[in-house]
Amino acid sequence: MDPEHAAVSPIFVVGMVRSGTTLISMMLSAHPAIAIAPDTHYVNAWVQRHRNLQLSQPADFDQFWSAFSGDKRFGYLGIDAGDVRHSIEVNQRYSFRGVYVSVLEAYAANLHKPRWGEKTPFSADHLDTLFSWFPEARVIYMIRDPRAVVSSLRQIPWLAEVGVAAHAAKWAKGVERALVSEGDPRMLFVHYEDLVHDPRTVIGEVCGFLGEAYSADMLDGRHSLEASTLIDREGWEKEHITAALGPVHEMSVAKWRQQLEPDEVDLIERYCGSVMVRVGYSPGGNELSPAALAPVVTQGPLS
């Protein structure tokens, strides 16, 4: 992809929660040309919740904009709601797509970056909408060992009581659905384990997929911090983002071995086993299979 084309191709980071979406988003945001906005839940929640509104109608637009711009997640973006609304009005972007573009453009402009994108893991369930709105979009789908994902999800305060089986079933269903698009040249599948094992190589491959030159800043936690917003974050959220801004390491790859009971591991593998094998993980408590590390990045042929 040539640089001019890349500039008009938004980037979306998706995948199961706790699969490395925050880590790779922070790394991408440290690139001098890329601004990846934090989770807005725009496509998976806001559009779905208000899909019966016609934003071309003033009353409907006012209702939607008031709710969306007043949400705490809008505040995380660090942009002025009045300025964004003015941009929507000037450009006549009275549609769900138009609002989304205006918000993410404003986020990127605030960081003096030409290329914008967003990280909401749950947008993985709405890729048809994203590709309908942005046919030239580039989607990075993060994949991580389901045992590690489930173990990590249980450390999140508001998810601690969710059963292991429910988390495992969600991982299997989500990854299986994503694999339907495995040959799409606009989709890139990246293993979390590969990213932390050899970040320089993986990020280089990601930049190639995006049509951007590699920047050493992407592996520099200091630059990631400068390029990211921590506005109004507190508690677990702030700790999680701050950790993602630190040096890349492999400490989290095998934590699940100490955090999960044998029967829990068995339950996860029974729910996820066949999908695990398809994406390179070995059921049975063994180390990662060579397939998870050999092809650093799995993608379809680039157009």
Name residue, tokens 């790779």.
24
Domains and CATH numbers, the chain: 3-299 (3.40.50.300)
| Kind of pairing between the strands at 115-119 and 138-143 | unpaired
pTM of the model: 0.86
pLDDT tens for the chain, 303 residues long, are: 444 444 469 999 999 988 999 899 989 999 999 999 999 999 999 999 999 999 999 999 999 999 999 999 999 899 999 999 999 999 999 999 999 999 999 999 999 999 999 999 999 999 999 999 999 999 999 999 999 999 988 887 777 778 899 999 999 999 999 999 988 999 999 999 999 999 999 999 999 999 999 999 898 765 555 555 554 445 545 555 555 555 555 667 778 888 899 999 999 999 999 999 999 998 885 444 433 433 334 343 322
Tokens of 247: 């040096």
